[in-house]
Amino acid sequence: MKRMAFITTGLLVIAFTLFGCAQQPAAPTGAGWITLIDGPKGLDNWNRQGTANWRVVDGVMQADSAKGNSWLVSKNSYADFQLRVEFWASDNANSGVYLRCRDAKKVAVTSCYEVNIYDRAPDPAFGTGAIVRFATVQAIHKAGGKWNTYEITAKGTKITATLNGVRTVELDNKKYKSGPIALQWFGGVVKFRKVQIRPL
């Protein structure tokens, strides 16, 4: 009986481990991937814009207050790339991942593509998974209160966004060709655990 109980316990541990791994896509490895946020060195690759209280807490970059809109803006610019962002957002969070920003010193939704994180948006054009002003989500996507993974590809005029393995939008647009990426805080609690990019 003891042996059977030991085997059963072992199988349960393996099952829960595999289940946990299935919930969070594995971080990419291999040639070309650049880690922009990973633990205590989270701000090394970024410039601050605005007054958000970005800091590392338990190995995770987070912010929960500011006087108005704020961003972390990458020090480097990118044209074609794959981007992977692991984030956690409170239910009331207003955040986003900005791409190909035209002016690194004046990030705005009118000068970048923004893949939104905004569960409470009253309009699907601004909902989580949308590209604000360019691509509306066709289904409701909720990111609040859990860890999520955005996988975003920008190549030429085409941009695709995938949230937790589900394609949310596809865009074909030539307005912005190159620029830094930016991570937004505009409300609630926002955390970024790992951000990686691979130029194409």
Contacts of 69 (CB under 8 A, 6+ apart): 50, 184, 185, 186
pLDDT at 156 over 90: yes
Question: CB–CB of 163/86 below 8 Å?
Answer: no
User: Which of the two residues, 190 and 43, has the higher pLDDT score?
Assistant: 190
pLDDT at 62 over 50: yes
Q: What is the pLDDT of residue 27?
A: 66
Q: Is 1 exposed, middle or buried (0-12, 13-18, 19+ CB in 10 A)?
A: exposed
Question: CB–CB of 132/183 below 8 Å?
Answer: no
Q: Is 46 exposed, middle or buried (0-12, 13-18, 19+ CB in 10 A)?
A: buried
Q: What is the pLDDT of residue 28?
A: 73
pTM for the structure as a whole? 0.85
Which DSSP string do the residues of 141-173 spell out, in sequence order? ---BTSEEEEEEEEETTEEEEEETTEEEEEEE-
Mean pLDDT of the chain: 89
**Tokens standing for 139?**
């289904």
Closest of 158, 105, 162, 113 to residue 137, by C-alpha: 162
Which CATH architecture does the domain made up of 30-199 adopt?
Answer: Sandwich (2.60)
- C-alpha dihedral over 11, 12, 16, 19, to 10 degrees? 60
For range 114-143, the mean pLDDT: 96
Confidence of residue 3 (pLDDT cuts 50, 70, 90): very low
Q: What is the pLDDT of residue 8?
A: 43
Q: Where is 196: in which H helix or E strand?
A: strand 190-199
Q: How open is the CA angle 152-155-161, to the nearest 5 degrees?
A: 20
